[in-house]
Chains A and B, each alone.
Chain A
């Protein structure tokens, strides 16, 4: 993963925002992650803290990592994409069918299938983007629509029967130097997404659109066009996530990926991305993917009923975001050094149009 959260993100104001605000979230998220690792290390160090287990976990979170990177961009624009799971299924299905129709073996067929899987993701992403940016239908509704339609389309394409295919298996299960290809691919996506978000004009405009779309428009940014690109990117990554999933499991999974969208949003939120837009980082999302990933892995190692996962992850998610905001409120109210240090973060996660509740202490206006 790149060092992004602090060093890379000048768009959100690396020395300002993320050192003061983003890092507040990041500190707690990393603390949660560390506590989790510590807990499992103590309880089951012999099986948990092994290279093999680390690699296995990395392999397991690779697909969600790719999908969540796209979701991070979307959330930063103050949008949401519920269709990522359906797009992943479509990606799997279209990739598998393309490969089979092309003959089913060899580099070229594989490449064709991968391209088709990504392509269908772009297509759905563009549909999402156009519906949201030009037809002005709320993101929740548009992507709910494509979520439903996507699964349906996958069922139509396959007649509802999963398509087995091993052509991409080497990507999903092969290793180089002991490291699975799929992990390297995931790392590659993280690196590219991190650079795109934190170092390019495109990334900066993504923050600007989520921070104040009206301001972005008035400085000449093509806001609808940018939104289409962002949703297309999320679609491409979801489609690619589906391709990776096909590669790993050697079959499509029409009934699967249902929790992908929410897991991706949870990962981003755990990593400090604001659902109100304007704030977020790829590095944070990666940590946000690993928290449930490690939990799942640890629970299995400890032999706890896997059904507890959801409750634990749900609690951790809400608690992390609550704790973060609670700290900001407390910090804002205690005065002195902390107050000035955290004052700027107090309004951070509020949308611009929401009134800030009047503080109960006297020294709030912060003219120091």
Chain B
């Protein structure tokens, strides 16, 4: 890892659902202009971590730092205001509305305070999509439900990319996609990274991880158990990290001190 301050960092994050400890002192960091893959087995806590870092859920313990400064996200809007956007696995699009309306949903450009500035939003959506190289969505005036799965995915990602200033989380954005559409999404992810954003990609497809990620963080039972630079990672190594065979972050003793040299962890 290099020495620059991560744009977004979580330290010692704890989140419990009843008796389930989804996060048990998880650490996580993403740097600007990089793609960080967040991998781990089903139930490892990846989605929970994303929810905590994007204001959807509140951590029971631990801290979140933005550009090195502690922050608290009470709602997703708090995170939005600070330039953090999330593409949830279910996309959270309104299917009857078109791409432009979805892109600006909840953040409409207005005329005279109450009217939709429809043209301006449409124009701006077309421009943003073009800048992002989203060519799959030809008609931003078509209702989203008339688009293919890949196109919808592109709309959801492009929407987040339009608004993100710092970090964008993508929770399994390619899970339902075919080869071609997956490739397009990965290209889009690179595009977003090249604009200087921190991109966090959750996926179970390890070749995609090696394809697009600059760094990899592995979560297991609610803790970070390994981190890799892409060049050091192989599919075999990632598999052993996911299954707990390999670890390069000391977390062996669950209730003991973790090897974090910064105070303030869980």
Contacts and interface: CB of A to CB of B under 8 A. Distances in A.
- Whether both chains belong to one complex is answered with yes
A14 B77 CA distance: 29
Given A16-B98, A20-B146, A200 B116 contact: yes
A366 interface: yes
B146 A11 contact: no
A10 B116 contact: yes
Interface string B73-117: 001110010000000101111111110010001111010001110
B139 interface: yes
A13 B108 contact: no
Interface in A214-253: 214-216, 218-221
A327 interface: no
B148 A366 contact: yes
A197 to B, nearest CB: 11
Interface stretch (A64-72, A81-89, A295-303, A341-349): A341-349
A154 interface: no
A20 B146 CA distance: 10
Contacts of B97: 11-13, 204, 207-208, 211
A199 B111 CA distance: 10
A220 B106 contact: yes
A58 B90 CA distance: 47
A344 B92 contact: no
Contacts of A366: 148
A169 B108 CA distance: 43
A16 B116 contact: no
Interface in B181-228: none
B102 to A, nearest CB: 8
B234 interface: no
B142 interface: yes
Given A215-B94, A219-B92, A208 B105 contact: yes
B118 interface: yes
B143 interface: yes
Contact of A216 (B88, B94, B145): B94
Contact of B141 (A16, A200, A348): A16
Contact of B96 (A203, A214, A278): A278
Interface in A1-60: 10-17, 20-21
A95 B91 CA distance: 48
A367 B148 contact: yes
B148 A214 contact: no
Interface in B14-71: 56
A367 B141 CA distance: 19
A322 interface: no
A17 B94 contact: no
A65 B75 CA distance: 41
A218 B98 contact: no
Contacts of B94: 207-208, 211-212, 215-216, 278
B92 A201 contact: no
Contacts of A221: 105-106
A304 interface: no
Interface residues of B, number: 32
B116 A207 contact: no
Contact of A11 (B92, B101, B106): B101
A279 interface: yes
Interface string A345-368: 101100010000000000000110
Given A201-B110, A216-B105, A207 B146 contact: no
A16 B142 contact: yes
Given A199-B116, A211-B96, A344 B106 contact: no
A200 B108 CA distance: 10
Contact of B105 (A21, A219, A279, A352): A219
A175 B265 CA distance: 78
A326 interface: no
B115 A200 contact: yes
A183 to B, nearest CB: 27
Contacts of A215: 91-94, 105
Contacts of B92: 212, 214-215, 218-219
B159 to A, nearest CB: 9
Nearest to A274: B96
B98 A13 contact: yes
Contacts of A15: 98, 139, 141-142
Contacts of A219: 92, 105-107
30 contacts: A10-B98, A10-B116, A12-B143, A13-B96, A15-B98, A15-B142, A16-B139, A16-B142, A17-B96, A17-B98, A17-B146, A21-B143, A202-B114, A205-B106, A208-B94, A208-B97, A208-B105, A211-B97, A212-B92, A216-B106, A219-B105, A220-B76, A220-B77, A220-B106, A220-B107, A221-B106, A278-B94, A278-B95, A278-B96, A344-B143
Given A215-B91, A215-B105, A344-B145, 19 more contacts: A11-B116, A12-B96, A15-B141, A16-B146, A17-B146, A20-B146, A200-B114, A205-B106, A207-B94, A207-B96, A210-B96, A212-B94, A214-B90, A215-B92, A218-B76, A219-B105, A221-B106, A348-B145, A367-B148
Interface of B: 56, 75-77, 80, 88, 90-98, 101, 105-108, 110, 114-116, 118, 139, 141-143, 145-146, 148
List the 7 closest pairs (A to B, CB-CB), nearest first.
Answer: A344-B146, A219-B106, A16-B142, A278-B96, A13-B98, A211-B94, A215-B92
